Structure 1
Amino acid sequence: MLEFMDYVQTAFLTQGAWNRDNSYASLTATAHSLLDFRIPQGLRLHISSLSSQNFGTSYTLGSRGVVDGSLSFLYSSLGLSLPARSRISALESLVQGYRHLAVLQPTTKLHWNEIIRDGRNLRRKDSLLYGRLYLPTNTLEALYLRRVSPNRLLRLSSVSDASLPNGGSLLALLQNDFGKYSTEFLYSTDSSLLGIRGLYNFGYDPRFPNLPLDRPPAHPWDHQGGRLSAGAEIYFSPVNKSGGVSTGLRFTTLPTHTGFPYTMTLTINPLMGSLSSTYAVKAGRNLAFCSRFDFNVYSYESDVVVGVELWQRQQQAAETAWARKLLRDDWGRAEEGANGVLKARVDNHGKVGLLWECKLKELLVTLGAGVDLKKRERMLGSVGMEVSYSC
């Protein structure tokens, strides 16, 4: 389940009409959400508040052998309109599950705020500031988001910790989204890492939305309700004199697809000799399956992981317009609210992960456990519970 501050940051991007899925970094987001969900450890309590449309705070208290916690603060120049209270927030907007990709929008329709000053319209470049202090380690992390232009987003993230080399690190990421394709440029002070990513979408070109409607489809995916995307990344560290490269493909159905939604991905790292393929399917409005196969051509080692996501819904519940906007689910159409969701995964090594996330009155509760079927004496591994409340 998304923490409150991550939930607010997602709202900042969504309300600003920034497409989080049109990037190489999110190529395998669906499989990651269904198979790599985090299992809580120990007991953790989150108390959060969005005191206004521009300010948010969050406090966390946990116990994993020692008492720890964190303090978080957030400011957004863009006034955020979202159901911040846990009692009215939609569970679907807090749980990361199967990702439904929307049709690409023309860049001319991208949201761009304007303010009027002295009778003139001025473009407003929205920003978001976020900071979090971890106790008792005194580790500090910070995030700065800046909407430089309708097609460009600057992201600066840093961490300060005495145990890290040079006392911390800074990561700068410049994202460019042109609809048809996207690029990302990154730099990290950790080993002076330099990198570039790119993603290209075949088929419909949102840059030319006014083409004749009776034209023959340029690609077969235009009238199959799907999108094929290809991307790659390359990075290099002059300090360590090392680098890496990877490439990937993704085919996913769109809301215009008449059958069941599904997503397929294939990623390859030629230097490491690793290959990974995933297949996720939305078998019904409340059920999703996902599988992943990893193989290394050098060692011939392979791993298989399968997972399932099962939703429990209310019979009658009205959801907010914001929740419908975040869902974009043509199967559910937000007609019924969700009480909870069960996630489970198992791999070929006998490791099982279970996660139950639900709304209990005005609380958001997450229960999780890890089981190792090959350990006869101690099969039960990590067990934890998280309770969140926001007002």
Structure 2
Amino acid sequence: MLDPALLRANPAELAERLRASRGFELDVGRLEALEADRKRIQVRTQELQNLRNTRSKQIGMLKAKGEDVSAVMAEVAGFGEELKASEVELDRIRGEIEAIALGIPNIPDDSVPQGSDESQNVEQKQWGTPRSFDFEPKDHVELGARHGWLDGETAAKLSGSRFTVLRGQLARLHRALAQFMLDLHANEHGYEETNVPVIVNAESLYGTSQLPKFEEDMFATQLGEHRRYLISTSEISLTNIVRDEIVEAEALPKRMTAHSLCFRSEAGSGGRDVRGMIRQHQFEKVELVSIAKPDESDAEHERMTRCAETVLEKLGLPYRKVLLCTGDMGFAARKTYDLEVWLPSQRAYREISSCSNCGDFQARRMQARWRNPETGKPELVHTLNGSGVAVGRALIAVMENYQDADGSISVPEALRAYMGGVERIA
């Protein structure tokens, strides 16, 4: 959530900035009308509260003197109903303003290129050279289905479309990838391995900005009166660990990593990537989250992105790093790098990691703060998150880039220790 002072100070200027960078239309007239009503009713509410307090003291003094208090009590009763109605109306208006504020995306950093869609993202680097095949490379679905390793039909029988059953050595390779990533980030990159719930309450989703805007993308559970949600990323659980907390300066940056199941309804994805494991309702991801001091978050963002790059380099997977333009960034992000891995079957780079600096946008919703030793006062932290990386897409990339003409798949050297020394699956 943006600083409320930005909404109050100059909403027209904010609206223009959001329109230019995000294509977001802020209803300035509605916001200004609500703010005017809020000020007017708040002043009247305070007047009535002061009047009530003054008259209450007067009643006490009159009673102490043994004098008649009926007239004053009648006066208090007279404005008591007005005060109650005024407080209710003030809460309603504040709720409307907050609802507007919750729907406003983060403001992009000045270093983010202007643009309306992914075609205007800016490539930062390429690593590795896509392999030249002396045969027509197969896609991951054909490679997996030949051996019964990847079974969409059985998954559809169990759960419906966009689910997958993995078997045998392919299931083991998938597990190996997750273990490799966790060990890399925990042992070499200094992230604390964390195991988190995959079912969370609504407060957690408000904290990291999935609610209210993206509720249609969430799977939900209902048990009696309790509604909870299946996480779409362990960023939600990890980041909310510091919700309503004050972190001491010496504990920052706080770096956490988790391997978890993730669930997305893909409500707005239409018919995209319905084949295979590219876009699933259930998938696994190794997530990176950092909680940082504001003046260190840009450097932490570069570091986090580099940690995700290392995964792909150790696996020998060609990739490119892209700086997203203003129109292609996520709702809560102020700056995002995407890593896109090369898929031979598509002859294209596809996203496998997204690393974002959210500034204080999520922290303000969560009231996640740190104690600044220079002032001794609590201030908002900055939150960062990134895929380190998506396990299913890494599996796809390994299958396609390491395939041989007979349909067998070489195991990248970095994974062989996790595969019991197996060098090839066939």
Q: Which has the higher contact order (CA 8 A, sep 6+)?
A: 2
TM (norm. structure 1) is: 0.24
Scaled by the length of structure 2, what TM-score is found? Answer: 0.23
Structure number having the greater helix percentage: 2
Greater radius of gyration (CA): 2
